[in-house]
Chains A and B, each alone.
Chain A
Amino acid sequence: MSATHVPHPDLPPPSSTIGALGWLRRNLFSSPLNVALTVLAVYLLAISLPPMLRWALFDATWSGDSREACTANSGACWIFIKVHFGQFMYGFYPEAQRWRVDAVVLLLIIGAAPLFISSVSNPLKVRLGLGLLLLYPLLAFMLLHGGLFGLTPVDTRQWGGLLLTLVIAGVGMTAALPLGVLLALGRRSKMPAIQTLCVTFIEFWRGVPLITVLFMSSVMLPLFLPTGMNFDKLLRALIGVTLFQAAYMAEVVRGGLQAIPKGQVEAAAALGLGYWKTMALIVLPQALKLVIPGIVNTFIALFKDTSLVLIIGLFDLMNIVHSATTNPAWLGFSTEGYVFAAAVYWLFCFSMSHYSQSLEKRLHTGHKR
């Protein structure tokens, strides 16, 4: 009679390695150095969090609509934000016309939503994307600026707040990417004239600070133009920002182009593809995918750099918050204002980086190790 060997059932793992306790041990108390760092971090949180929370939440004033309502509480006065909210979002855009801004944003959301739905077919997405890229800006400009179809014209100097920040960032991003791709291709071109042109352009714009570009566009440029010929200050800033970002974008894209093995181009040539087809169908799709982090990095930097337009007197989110803090009726609430601005910037930048990560995952084709 043979006895089958029945292994003893596995013992449960030691209680110190599972559950919350195990996690703590593994991640926070695994070595003397980690123990020290954990203790330090907990200590820092303990001394900084309660006052912060007290200021921002518990002792803060949430309701009311005058400055007086805030005097009772020692914490933040969020009424300041509430009262100025419209201004922070739309700048000096006339209140009766603000629906136009909302419509522009709504249009973008409706138009862009199908791009994020996986069941929509790809050719449709491409058509929609092109429409968004080419038609939407025109439509948005017509709605925002008015003057046509019986819409009251709203001068660009009245645009402000988050609206202006988004306009500058949006235009800068959508225009800089294609321009940057062309510049990157130009820089690697075998035609000396095009190559020199692109290298000069890129090196020039990368060599000057954005603040100088903006300053030149608003202060120096008008001096060189014939008298009486003034084009819009916002337009000047937009052109400056776009050219500046295009140079950075070009270098990011060039990094991607260089990472594509030569065999890809040769294989494309063997298939009989011309230059543009090779680039559009073989090289760029691979190269751009590789440099998504770099592109998004540039976008995020651009988004935050829009706050520099305050030196040329455009009231973007940052400048309008600053201007509200000097309102004589609401003095002394600069902290609330800047915290709000920081939160808005963070929200946008974080969403961008989050989206880029999901994009990377979706386009992942096994290159990653």
Chain B
Amino acid sequence: MNRRNTLAFSLTATLLLAAGTAQAGNTLNAVKERGYVKCGVSDGLPGFSYADAKGNYSGIDADVCRAIAAAVFGDATKLKFTPLTAKERLTALQSGEIDVLSRNTTWTSSRDSAQGLNFTGVTYYDGQGFLVNKKLGVKGAKELDGATVCVQAGTTTELNLSDYFRANKMKFTPISYDKSDESAKSLEAGRCDVLTSDQSQLYAQRIKLAKPDDYVVLPEVISKEPLGPVVRHGDDEWFDIVRWTLFAMVNAEEMGITSKNVDEMKKSTNPDIKRMLGVEGDKGKDFGLANDWMAVVIKQVGNYGEVFERTVGKGSDLKIARGQNALWTQGGLQYAPPVR
């Protein structure tokens, strides 16, 4: 999401090489010994990870952390959140300050390779989109020729924007703002026709407007921003646990297992469900965890759909539609390999 920091990252990466990347070691044992998971989250992005007045974190990224704690300890509260800025997040992970980073971080090739990190999956498929006033009568991004576009300065959003308009041979006038608040205000004042940013942010900005219903997020997505949890290179066991925590939640939604019916579902005759909930076989033990850890995750945190709707979807202020984040069976991209 915030991609301003390429320079800082590459510098960090260089230093890392000098300092020796090898973070090999048994993260799982360290976590168990310590008694809690150290999870890096954002310093405040409603819907993803946001601390309320009492310091309780909510959001889809925070819930992924909870799910990991539930997987390891059978208790979703055995974790500590570390709020991190965009600049610090990768170093914090590399240096072992946190065990897993779940902080709206885009999965890119350089982070997966040079930075010594592993993305375990995608919790949220984001992408750059457009927010327009309904009065404009625009139905799609292709009709935006000649538009004045508000954009946040210094992000790759600007680059994606000009690439998109050039590729489609359209003209536009960009107006850059430093803060998202300013750009939202200027859309409201009519200084620009369109506001562009990652779609999840557009929804967040829309609810800040005086009349949110007058504005609409266009269906086009012009860049890929898959956001997901990240772990360090060199500990495959831990990688598997983090990766399959998310997969378990997605699989649970696909099989119709929710936090409410998970206990009944254990009586199901469906072998897939029985395997997953640890009633049959010992698939859970293969991870070095309790055999029924997936059931615990679902019971304490919920399946992917439940978490999505609660944090960013219908049950939240953001009201983001499932879109690309729907299950693959419903035309979305969320797909998890089978438990067997």
> What residues make up the interface of A, taking CB atoms closer than 8 Å to B?
83-84, 86-87, 91-95, 155, 157-158, 215, 218-220, 222-225, 227-228, 230, 310-313, 315, 319, 322-324, 326-329, 331-332, 334
**Chain B nearest Cβ from A285, distance in angstroms:** 44
Cβ-defined contact, B55 with A312, below 8 A: no
Q: Can you list 28 A-B pairs, Cβ within 8 angstroms, ordered by A?
A: A83-B53, A86-B53, A92-B51, A157-B81, A218-B88, A220-B15, A222-B95, A222-B96, A223-B12, A223-B91, A224-B15, A224-B19, A230-B97, A311-B87, A313-B43, A313-B83, A319-B43, A323-B43, A323-B44, A323-B50, A323-B51, A326-B46, A327-B46, A327-B52, A328-B316, A328-B317, A328-B318, A332-B208
Q: Does B322 contact A (CB under 8 A)?
A: no
- For the complex, give the distance between the alpha carbons of A219 and B92 in Å: 7
Q: Does B321 contact A (CB under 8 A)?
A: no
Residues in B neighbouring A92, C-beta threshold 8 A: 51, 54-55
Checking A230, A322, A331 against B95 with a beta-carbon cut-off of 8 angstroms, the contacting residue is A230
Q: Does B82 contact A (CB under 8 A)?
A: yes
Residues in B neighbouring A228, C-beta threshold 8 A: 30, 96
Residues in A neighbouring B12, C-beta threshold 8 A: 219-220, 223
Residues in A neighbouring B181, C-beta threshold 8 A: 334
Residues in B neighbouring A332, C-beta threshold 8 A: 208, 210
Q: Does B16 contact A (CB under 8 A)?
A: yes
Residues in A neighbouring B46, C-beta threshold 8 A: 326-328
Cβ-defined contact, A331 with B85, below 8 A: no
Cβ-defined contact, B208 with A331, below 8 A: yes
Q: Which residue of B lies closest to A314 (CB)?
A: B83
Q: Does B8 contact A (CB under 8 A)?
A: yes
Cβ-defined contact, B85 with A230, below 8 A: no
Q: Does B25 contact A (CB under 8 A)?
A: yes
> What residues make up the interface of B, taking CB atoms closer than 8 Å to A?
8, 12, 15-16, 19, 23, 25, 30, 43-47, 50-55, 80-85, 87-88, 91-92, 94-97, 181, 204, 207-208, 210, 316-318
- For the complex, give the distance between the alpha carbons of A255 and B30 in Å: 53
Among A84, A86, A219, A312, residue most surrounded by chain B Cβ atoms (within 10 Å): A219
Cβ-defined contact, B95 with A155, below 8 A: no
Cβ-defined contact, B87 with A219, below 8 A: yes
Residues in A neighbouring B45, C-beta threshold 8 A: 326
Residues in B neighbouring A328, C-beta threshold 8 A: 46-47, 50, 204, 207, 316-318
Among B15, B23, B53, B204, residue most surrounded by chain A Cβ atoms (within 10 Å): B53
Residues in B neighbouring A315, C-beta threshold 8 A: 43, 83
Further contacts, 11 of them, CB under 8 A, given A86-B53, A327-B50: A93-B55, A157-B82, A219-B8, A223-B15, A223-B19, A310-B43, A311-B87, A312-B88, A313-B43, A315-B83, A332-B208
Cβ-defined contact, A313 with B96, below 8 A: no
**Chain B nearest Cβ from A19, distance in angstroms:** 50
Q: Which residue of A lies closest to B92 (CB)?
A: A222
- For the complex, give the distance between the alpha carbons of A120 and B91 in Å: 53
Cβ-defined contact, B83 with A223, below 8 A: no
Residues in A neighbouring B92, C-beta threshold 8 A: 222
- For the complex, give the distance between the alpha carbons of A225 and B304 in Å: 38
- For the complex, give the distance between the alpha carbons of A115 and B181 in Å: 47
Cβ-defined contact, B96 with A87, below 8 A: no
CB-CB under 8 A for A222 and B97, given A155-B80, A158-B55: yes
- For the complex, give the distance between the alpha carbons of A240 and B96 in Å: 21
Among B19, B45, B81, B95, residue most surrounded by chain A Cβ atoms (within 10 Å): B95
- For the complex, give the distance between the alpha carbons of A68 and B265 in Å: 42
Cβ-defined contact, A223 with B208, below 8 A: no
**Chain A nearest Cβ from B83, distance in angstroms:** 5
- For the complex, give the distance between the alpha carbons of A311 and B87 in Å: 8
Residues in A neighbouring B25, C-beta threshold 8 A: 227
- For the complex, give the distance between the alpha carbons of A8 and B201 in Å: 85
- For the complex, give the distance between the alpha carbons of A322 and B27 in Å: 34
- For the complex, give the distance between the alpha carbons of A91 and B96 in Å: 25
Residues in A neighbouring B317, C-beta threshold 8 A: 328-329
CB-CB under 8 A for A227 and B83, given A319-B43, A328-B207: no
Q: Which residue of A lies closest to B94 (CB)?
A: A223
Residues in B neighbouring A334, C-beta threshold 8 A: 181
Cβ-defined contact, A223 with B84, below 8 A: no
- For the complex, give the distance between the alpha carbons of A311 and B43 in Å: 10
Ranked nearest first, the 5 interchain pairs of A and B with the lowest CB-CB distance are A92-B55, A222-B95, A328-B317, A323-B44, A328-B46
- For the complex, give the distance between the alpha carbons of A326 and B201 in Å: 12
Residues in B neighbouring A84, C-beta threshold 8 A: 53
CB-CB under 8 A for A225 and B95, given A219-B12, A312-B85, A323-B43: yes
- For the complex, give the distance between the alpha carbons of A228 and B98 in Å: 10
Q: Which residue of A lies closest to B316 (CB)?
A: A328
Cβ-defined contact, B207 with A326, below 8 A: no
- For the complex, give the distance between the alpha carbons of A246 and B15 in Å: 28
**Chain A nearest Cβ from B142, distance in angstroms:** 31
**Chain B nearest Cβ from A235, distance in angstroms:** 13
- For the complex, give the distance between the alpha carbons of A311 and B207 in Å: 26
Residues in A neighbouring B47, C-beta threshold 8 A: 328
Residues in B neighbouring A95, C-beta threshold 8 A: 54
**Chain B nearest Cβ from A79, distance in angstroms:** 13
Residues in A neighbouring B210, C-beta threshold 8 A: 332
**Chain B nearest Cβ from A62, distance in angstroms:** 19
- For the complex, give the distance between the alpha carbons of A157 and B57 in Å: 13
- For the complex, give the distance between the alpha carbons of A350 and B43 in Å: 30
Q: Which residue of B lies closest to A215 (CB)?
A: B87
Q: Which residue of B lies closest to A325 (CB)?
A: B181
Residues in B neighbouring A220, C-beta threshold 8 A: 12, 15, 91
Cβ-defined contact, A313 with B84, below 8 A: yes
Q: Which residue of B lies closest to A158 (CB)?
A: B55
**Chain A nearest Cβ from B277, distance in angstroms:** 34
